[in-house]
Homo-oligomer: A and B are copies of this chain.
Amino acid sequence: MPDSLPPDSVGLVTPRTLHFSEPLPLACGQSLPEYDLVIETYGELNAEASNAVLICHALSGHHHAAGFHDMSDRKPGWWDSCIGPGKPIDTNHFYVVSLNNLGGCHGSTGPTSTNPATGKCYGPDFPVITVKDWVSSQAALADRLGIQCWAAVVGGSLGGMQALQWSLTFPDRLRHAVVIASTPRLTAQNIAFNEVARQAITSDPEFYEGRYQEHNATPRHGLTLARMVGHITYLSDASMGEKFGRDMREQAYKFGYDAEFQVESYLRYQGERFSESFDANTYLLMTKALDYFDPAYDADNNLAAALSQAQCEFLVLSFSTDWRFTPARSEELVKAMIAARRKVSYAEIDAPWGHDAFLIPTPRYIDAFSAYMKRVAREVGA
């Protein structure tokens, strides 16, 4: 490994694309005739194929969870803080599989892919994908990789919903589900913020009812706004205050409508950068997957009854200042698990970073996560 990569990094990694030609039936009633999934793997699968860990990503995530693609990369994968030798998801013990979900815009089949039925890109015709559908496609991926049972399925936020859904759809195909900074279902406020993001995108005249690619256009302003709103909900009031406070860009008030405070230009910049690389239809799709997720829905709104199907053990982690998916939502989930007599470990981590805390390696978080995953490793003989 080149000298300049950190010693606890998985190092240089190369994504690969797997093609699936078996149709995938979807919750919406349609089915995908064929599809690609882009994946990365870190560590080695053992002879018994018992040490595999699946990483599920959140709204804007992708397959590149750890390591570097190129020596010139300025940043590693999005969850490099938790995946690597000696890290909570320890690649000395685990074979880690990370994918870009269906409907994504980082190489897996999604709205920007070519629709085989028309020869044109799917755009808005790409079907709405749910968390259940992702889990089905991830099961096809497990089959392809020769993994009958995951040592653990792990995810934060929307990723945590996928880990939870795995325990319900394929109860005998995972030993542990790790559900971090997540929720058993969105609140009205969560849905409301998603709806603002969707309206921002769809009311942009460059959206063209989702056919912006055919018009050589991008709903850049709408996507920027959607990301700005999202970004605010990922941070806590306190962490924004700590980072920006009322710091100004210049010394004196300008009494105009340009960005006056640092927090304004930061948000604009983040939003604009995001809008240059992310697909608007994918953003819509991801927010809908969040809205629809509701495992209790099929069990007469009884979450404990829904969870009684699960066989795996659970680790649930929440963060004190997360106001997107508050600790109260995790506790609701944990209570239902206990009522369903499932084995569950729970910790609320005191961290100032809001929802984004699940990406930040604070010591108590890393300790709790590592201790649990060490036990998983021992169990599977990894």
Contact = CB atoms under 8 A, between A and B. Distances in A.
Contact of A246 (B185, B221, B224, B232): B185
Q: Which label, helix, strand, loop or mixed, suits the secondary structure of the A interface?
A: helix
6 contacts: A188-B240, A188-B261, A191-B264, A205-B205, A225-B225, A261-B291
Contact of A195 (B187, B189, B263): B263
Contacts of A202: 257
Contacts of A78: none
Contacts of A253: 292
Nearest to A220: B203
Interface residues of A, number: 56
A127 interface: yes
B255 A195 contact: no
Contact of A196 (B124, B225, B244, B292): B225
Interface string A281-315: 00010001001101000000000000000000000
B228 A199 contact: yes
A128 B255 contact: yes
Contacts of A264: 191-192, 195
A180 to B, nearest CB: 20
Given A187-B240, A191-B264, A229 B198 contact: no
A154 B274 CA distance: 43
